[in-house]
Chains A and B, each alone.
Chain A
Amino acid sequence: MAVDKEMNVLIVDDYKTMLRIIGNLLKQLGFGNVDEATDGGMAIEMIKQKKYGLIISDWNMEPMSGLDLLKHVRGNNDNVPFIMVTAESKTENVIAAKQAGVSNYIVKPFNAETLKQKMTAVLGEF
C-alpha cells in the first residue's frame, strides 16, 4: 500500500535548527503536513489534539526526554510509527529505545538519504 504523503507528521526537538532541518527535508520528500514541538510535554498535548501518522523525535530534551515521550505514547496503546533521531548512539540507548517500542533509530548527524531509508523501513515505499 502506498504511503499517504498527506498524513500528519510530528517532529519533536528542542533545537529549533533541527526542527527546521528535518521539516525542510520532509517537505522535499513530499510530506507537507508537518507539525513541530519543542519538548515532550508539548508533543503530548499535540498528540491529544490530532492523529499523527509518524512521530520523529529527538532523545535529549528537557524536562521530558524523547524516551519518556515514547514510553508515554506506547503506554496509551498508540502504535504510531516513532523514529528516534539522536546523538545518543551507545548500545544501551538503542536497547532502551527498542524496549520502549521505538520503530527506528537515526544517529545524528544524518543525511536526507538516511532519513528516507528509515522512513521507508517504517512506513513502506514512497
Chain B
Amino acid sequence: MPVQRITLTAVCIAIVAVLVSSVPVPIAATGGFTHPGAIAEIFIALAFGPVVGGIAAAVGAAIADLALGYGSFAPLTFLAHGCLGVLSGYIGWKKGITGMVIGWIVGGLALVAVYFMGEATVYGFGVAGAAAELPINLFQVGLGFFGLLLYQLVKRAYPQIDQLGGSPTYQER
C-alpha cells in the first residue's frame, strides 16, 4: 500500500472520530445532542471510495464510541458505520450528482437498518427498544446530505483532493 494511502486513511479516521466525539449539534425537538459524523463519513466515501470510506467510517466512529464511554455499542457502530462508508463509496464515488445522492441515501438507510436489526436481535432490545433510536439515527443520516455539499465545496477550494491517496508521479525538468 502506498504511503500516501496509509496517511490519508489515518487522517480520514481521525476526522470522523473528531466529528463524532467532539462536535455537538443541539437538536431543537428533544433538547439533546447529536453529532455531525455522517457528514465526514459521506464526504470521505464520495471523495476516496468504498475502501477508505468504509474503514474511516467504521474505525473512526467506533473509536469515538469508545472514547465517549459507549463501549457496549462500539462493535455495532463499527458494522453500521462501515456499511454506510462502503455502500456510499461504492455507489457514489466518481459518479455524477445523482449517483452521489443515491449513494448517500442507500448508505444512510443501511446504517439505520444495521443499527435497528442489531439492537432488536443481537442486543435483545426488541422492536420497541430499537425503534426508540430510529429518529436520532435518521436525523444523523439526514445530516449526511451536508457531506455531499462539503465534497463539492472542498473540491472547489482544494482541487488536489482527487489526486490524494494515490502514488505521486514525479517529472524531471
A binds B: no
Query: A: which residues have CB within 8 A of B?
Result: none
